[in-house]
Each structure stands twice: as structure tokens, then as C-alpha cells.
Amino acid sequence: MKLVKSSSSILRKFLVFNFSVFFVLGLFTFFYLKSVQPNLVKKRTEKHIVIINNTSNHIERLKIDFNRESLKNFLFSTRFLFQNLERVQFYNLDGNLVGDTNVLDLDQNVFSKPDEVLQEDINKKLNENEKNLKNAENFDKNKNRGIQSLLNEKNEGPVVVEIKENNNFFIKTLDDVKVEEKIIGYIMVTEKANEILTAVIERRNFILRTVFGIGIAIFIFSIFLNKYILKPIAGLVRYTQSIKDKEESFGRIEKFLNRSDELGLLSRSLNNMTQDLQKRTRRAENSSADLAHEIRNPLASLKGASELLDNTVDKTERKKLIRILSHDVERIDRLITDYSKMLKDEASLSREKMQIVNLENLINNVVEEFSNNVTAIEKKLKFRVTRTKPNGKQIKIMGIENRLEQVVANLLDNAVSFSPSESEIFINIQSEKEKILVKIIDNGPGFEEDNTEKIFKRFYSNRPEKFGQHSGLGLNIVKNIVEMHGGEVRAYNRKDFKNGAEIELELPKQASATA
């Protein structure tokens, strides 16, 4: 048996697709995280540049000399400009440190003291501050990147340096001090910016948590997809393959039939289709066997008559044998013709689409045609149609109009054939809650069979006086068409009359056709 490909290929495609999406999102995330810190540093640097420009304006406006003593007094008098900064350093054009907030007492307690006291602190601590300034300058020179290296990098714009020390993150911004558009020195602003690293870490952790959550969701969905969708689909594929290979034990879909979702609907549709195809196959096989059986009898008669014809000299006997031969040939031809037509009708019936049909109008039209039938006119037959309307509404069903006409026509043809002259044929239409009953009643001899189901079998005929003139397929075709409409057909002998037959059609009332 040919192996069925595993349905995991769909799962594999699903996982590959999600991995590709994750990879692309990962690249975007990587570049995003790479750009977060530079953007935040840029914003902080812009703030530093504003402070540096304001400081330059103050120095120009106050006419401050760019030396150590003047800058020291300036730092004390304008301390509010730098109160949120870690450090502010002033360098002359040679790169020497001439001012530094780190060597001054610029903490919050100093900010709360009156100006007079602050001025006294300056005079008392000039020597100490000078010494501290020297030490700060020497300390900066020992750094990996001293002021000279930064000045060498500087062109027209500011120089920005990011430094991590003792688990702290610092941003340094170096720019020119201009007085009357002339560069007189440099200012380097240093600010502790641990919150930038915190923001980067928070964004990174948020993205990692999100990715982890999405990964778990995809994993769970993959399990659900494989268990509840892909495996059932693989089971349906095995079921169809087992039907093709005629191995009924290989494919089982009973566990899917009770599901209320789309797969359950698919399983039921597939099961119904399979059963319908199997039913048609059995019907075709039985029909072929019945046809072979029906043809065998006239063939045997043909063979016997032909053998006798060779040995018969009497003209009368020869004519009789020739009539038998002709009759049997006609019978075989009729059987084959009617059987071919029946198969063609059944095939076309399965392809035709059902529509809303007005059953009253359909029956009235067929009855009107049979009223003008030659046999009906010769027998002087009458047709009476009676019906009960549901709340005054017309009786409509879902069906194939020409096939339903064929059903009514075949039943009326039988009724006309068996009805005695000057009798009446009754057609009654009755609408019930969920079904519609159509009864065709005649005054003929009725059925001799105790089991009236026999009359719907293929090639069955109870017309001994007209043997060979009918193929016995008419009522069987009626049964097939009615069953394909979801209905039933039954036959009875009349109980309200001495003679007569009654054929009853039961058709389902479709919800969409009740209007």
C-alpha cells in the first residue's frame, strides 16, 4: 500500500515561518536596542550643550576673565547652573584645567547658605582650592583619554564621551567657550546618567519577556495545531486512502464524527459522500447483475427458437418462431435502452442542483398533460387533485423540478395503465409539520403481492398480458429519485374500496422552502 505523507510537513512549515518572523523581528529588535542608548545620550548631550551655551553667555555678559581665580568666583556665584550635574570643568586653550566644580564646596548645604558667607568661604579656601585644582588636573591627565586627546578629536562640534566607572555611567560633553565669537577656552560637562542604562535594560528585558511569552504561545499553539487539526486531517487522508485501496480496517473516522467544529463537519461530509458512493457502486453492481439476469431469459428463448427454426418446415410454425425471435430481440433492446437511460438519469441527477419548487403547480401541470393523453382520452379517465394548504400558503419543497415531474409522470402512467375505463384517478397533496405527502390513487386491480416493496425492484413487472413491453424500471427510477430527495415511496392496496392501488410519496419539507 502506498504510504501517506506525514501531516507534520504543515507543522514544519508553520514553525519555519514563525522562526523566520522571529529572526526578522530579532534583527529589528537588535538594531532598536542598539539605537536606544545613542538616542538617549544624544538628548542628554543636547541638554549639556544648552548649559555650555548659557555658561558662555554668562561669562561674556559678566566679562569674566578665563583664569583660575575669576572662574572660581564665577562658579560660586552661578552654582545654580550646575546643581544637577556631576562635574563641570574649564580648560584654557592649551588644555590646562583652570576651573572644576569638584574642588569647590558646591553641595546642597552650600546652596542654602547666604551669599555673604559663601564669599567668605572663597577667600578662606583659595589656597586649598588651588591645591585641589592641581590634584584634579593631574588626575585627569592620568586617565586613558585625557583632555588633549579629546581636543585633538574636536572639530567644529562638541565631543561626547561615554564612560562606565564603578557600576556608574557618565556622559561627558566638551565644547567651546566663545566670547564675541572668539574661542577663549573649553567647558566639559560630566553627568551621571545611570537612568539611561536602566532604560536600556528595562527595554531589553521587556522585549525578552515578550519574545519568551510569544515563543511559549507558539509552542502551545503548535501542539494544539498538531493534535487537534493536523493529526485528524492525516486520519481523514488515511481513511480516503483505505477506501481507495479497499482496506476498511485501515481508516477509521468515527472519533471525528461527533466533533462540533469544522473538522467534524468535514468528517461527516466525507463519511456521507463515501457511503453515497458505496451505495451507488453497490447499486450499479446489482443493476448489472439484474440486467444480466433479465437478458439471459430472452437469450435462452432466442437460442431455443433459432434452433427450432432450422428444423421447422411448416410455414405457420416458422412464422410463430420468427415472432418469438422478434419479440425477444425487442425485449433485449428495450431492456438495454431503458437501463442505459436509467444510468444516465442517475448520473445527471447527482450533478443537478436543488432549488425551490412549487409542488402544487408541478403536479397540476403533469396532470393537465395526462388529461390530454391518448390512452386517458380513450378510457375516458378523469383526474381529481385535492390538497390542504398550510395556513393558506403554497406547498413548496427543495428539489430538482424535472426529476420530480418524472416521478409524478411515471406514477400517473402506471395509474392510467391499470385504471379501468370511465374511472377516476385521485391525487391528494397533504402538508404536515416536517413533511409533505402526495398520494396517487386509482381504481385498478391493485397489487397481487403481499409484499408491495417488490414492485420497486429493478426489472419487476406484474403485467403478464403485456410481458416484454415494459422493462420494469419505471417504479425503480421513482424510488431512486425520491430517495435522492431525502424522501420515501410506499405502495398499498386501497382499503376504502374493493379494488385499487395507492402510491404514497413522502418528501421532506425544507426550512428554506416553506416561505
C-alpha cell at 182: 572668539
Q: Are strands 488-493 and 424-431 parallel, antiparallel or unpaired?
A: unpaired
Q: What is the reported pLDDT for 109?
A: 43
Closest of 223, 221, 216, 214 to residue 26, by C-alpha? 214
Residue 182: beta bridge partners? 179
**Non-local CB neighbours of 273 within 8 Å, separated by 6+ positions:** none
pLDDT at 470: 52
Residue 184 has φ and ψ, to the nearest 5°, of -110, -10
Q: How far apart are CA 158 and CA 47, in angstroms?
A: 12
β-pair type (435-441, 424-431):
antiparallel
pLDDT at 118: 33
Average pLDDT of the residues in 108-130: 39
Cell 508553520 maps to which residue?
Answer: 14
Q: What does the pLDDT read at residue 116?
A: 34
Confidence at residue 313, expressed as pLDDT on a 0 to 100 scale: 63
What domains can you pick out in the chain, each with its CATH number?
8-200 (3.30.450.20), 245-277 (no CATH), 279-349 (1.10.287.130), 352-515 (3.30.565.10)
Element (H, E) at 437: strand 435-441
Which residue is it, cell 550635574?
Answer: 85
Inter-axis angle of helices 115-124 and 126-141, nearest 10: 70
Backbone angles phi, psi at 214, to 5 degrees: -65, -40
- Taken in order 160, 161, 162, 168, is the CA torsion positive or negative? negative
Question: What is the distance between the alpha carbons of residues 36 and 202, in angstroms, rounded to a whole number?
Answer: 11
The CA dihedral of 190, 196, 198, 201, to the nearest 10 degrees, is -130
User: What are the backbone angles phi and psi of residue 398, rounded to the nearest 5°?
Assistant: -90, 125
* pLDDT tens digit sequence for 296-354: 767 777 777 777 777 776 778 777 878 778 877 877 777 777 777 767 766 666 677 78
pLDDT score of 3 more than 50? no
DSSP state, 125?
Answer: T
Q: Strand 424-431 and strand 382-388: pairing?
A: parallel
Residue 136: HSE in the Cβ half-sphere, 13 Å Cα cutoff: 20
Q: What phi and psi values does residue 40 have, to the nearest 5 degrees?
A: -65, -40
| Cα angle 169-173-174, degrees, rounded to a multiple of 5 | 145
DSSP, res 66: S
Cell of 343: 444510468
pLDDT at 472: 64
Q: Which three cell numbers stand for residue 198?
A: 536602566
The tens digit of pLDDT for each residue in 255-300 reads 777 777 887 888 888 888 887 777 777 777 776 776 676 677 677 7
Helices (H), 178-261: 194-225, 231-244, 254-257
State mean pLDDT over 357-369: 89
Q: Which helix (H) or strand (E) holds 127?
A: helix 126-141
Residue 186 Cα to chain centre, angstroms: 68
Question: Which tens digit of pLDDT belongs to each residue from 457-489?
Answer: 766 665 444 444 455 677 878 888 888 888 999
Distance separating alpha carbons of residues 396 and 386, to the nearest angstrom: 16
116-140 average pLDDT score: 44
The three cell numbers locating residue 41:
545620550
